[in-house]
Homo-oligomer: A and B are copies of this chain.
Amino acid sequence: METTDAVTALAALAQDNRLDVFRLLVQAGPDGMTAGSIAEALDLAPNTLTFHFDRLRMAGLATVRREGRSMIYAARFETMNELVGFLTENCCGGTSCAPAAACKPARKRSKIPA
């Protein structure tokens, strides 16, 4: 991961509503959630939410897919792990510090196969 990408990802997370959205997606796991249910859970206007989704997506922190009338957003765990790795990289010169472990979702999304 490059500094530029890391800054983009960090900037995407450095905002109350977006951080809430991302954490909700992280906790939701690889199946993701509909834009509507996120809007409801966090009490956000749908257009505001679209703006934030875009930034998370541009930062590689989220993906979208359509399912009927709904858009389903999901966290991209790979980017999250890369970001954490980038931050802690070569900690204390690499001698005495263990790098952070990665978060690996076990199963791929299961319901409604596309």
Instruction: List A residues at the B interface (Cβ < 8 Å).
Output: 3-4, 6-7, 10-11, 13-16, 19-20, 22-23, 26-30, 77, 80-81, 84, 86-107
Contacts and interface: CB of A to CB of B under 8 A. Distances in A.
Contacts of A102: 100
- State the majority secondary structure of interface residues on A: helix
Contact of A92 (B4, B30, B88): B30
A10 B83 CA distance: 11
Contacts of A29: 91-93, 96-97
A14 B7 contact: yes
Contact of A89 (B23, B28, B87, B100): B23
22 contacts: A7-B15, A7-B16, A10-B19, A11-B11, A11-B15, A22-B87, A26-B87, A27-B90, A27-B91, A27-B92, A77-B91, A80-B87, A95-B106, A96-B105, A96-B107, A97-B103, A97-B104, A97-B106, A98-B101, A98-B104, A99-B103, A101-B101
